[in-house]
Amino acid sequence: MANPHAAALKTMALCRSLSGAELDAIAEIAGTQDLGAGKELFREGDPGDGLYLVVAGEIEIIKRGPRGDRSLARMVVGGVLGEMSLITADVRSATGRAVVDSRVLRLPVQRFRVLLDGGSTAALKIAAAIAEVLARRLAAMNTMVLELADKVDPAGSSLPELKDTELAGMYRTMQVWSF
């Protein structure tokens, strides 16, 4: 692991199965980004430009809703954001904003896709790890949906308003990297 970013990447669950040389290949495309407190890392609706790993500070995840913005989570050192952009061309589903001065490591989607298209074992292992985590998250979310459905009044009334803690719990489930 000659690249200084490799040590940070090794802490990510997505990179656990990578060899030293594979970590170096991924670290080679990574870059750092510093954010002052209150600055946005990305905004809901923007194109996904890559995956972020929080290496210092704290990033708040904010989602727009019918009743205004809601804070869903706070990602601290080791937190992974934006992994879906490595797989899909979808836009950002939430806003990430630095709570305090922060630093992130960024894997840009374009450079990751070049590795993936070239058959890089490292990129293929990361894509497979993302797919595995997403499959587990979907199963967990299916269970949560059933639990919410059980809250429906048998007379057919609609679901009660979700509490912020329930919403945050669902979001945390979607962010879990170790099942």
| Dihedral pair phi/psi, residue 144, rounded to 5° | -65, -40
Predicted pLDDT of residue 57: 97
Least confident of 9-23, 74-88, 131-145, 151-165: 151-165
Phi, psi of 98, rounded to the nearest 5 degrees: -70, 130
How high does pLDDT run on average in the chain? 85
Lowest mean pLDDT across 2-6, 99-103, 164-168: 164-168
Pick from 35-44, 123-132, 142-151 the range whose average pLDDT is largest: 35-44
Give the CA angle between residues 4, 5, 7 to the nearest 5°: 80
| pLDDT tens readout for residues 134-168 | 888 788 877 877 777 666 655 555 555 656 666 66
- pTM equals 0.77
Instruction: Identify which has the larger pLDDT, 159 or 115.
Output: 115
Classify each residue of 30-66 as buried b or exposed e, where b means 16 or more C-beta atoms within 10 Å of its C-beta.
Answer: beeeebeeeeebbebeeebebbbbbbbbbbbbbeeee
pLDDT tens for 52-69 read: 999 999 999 999 988 889
pLDDT of residue 34: 97
Predicted confidence at residue 131, as pLDDT, reads 87
At residue 179, the pLDDT reads 36
Give mean pLDDT, residues 94-104: 96
pLDDT number for residue 161: 60
Q: Give yes or no for residue 72 having a pLDDT over 70.
A: yes
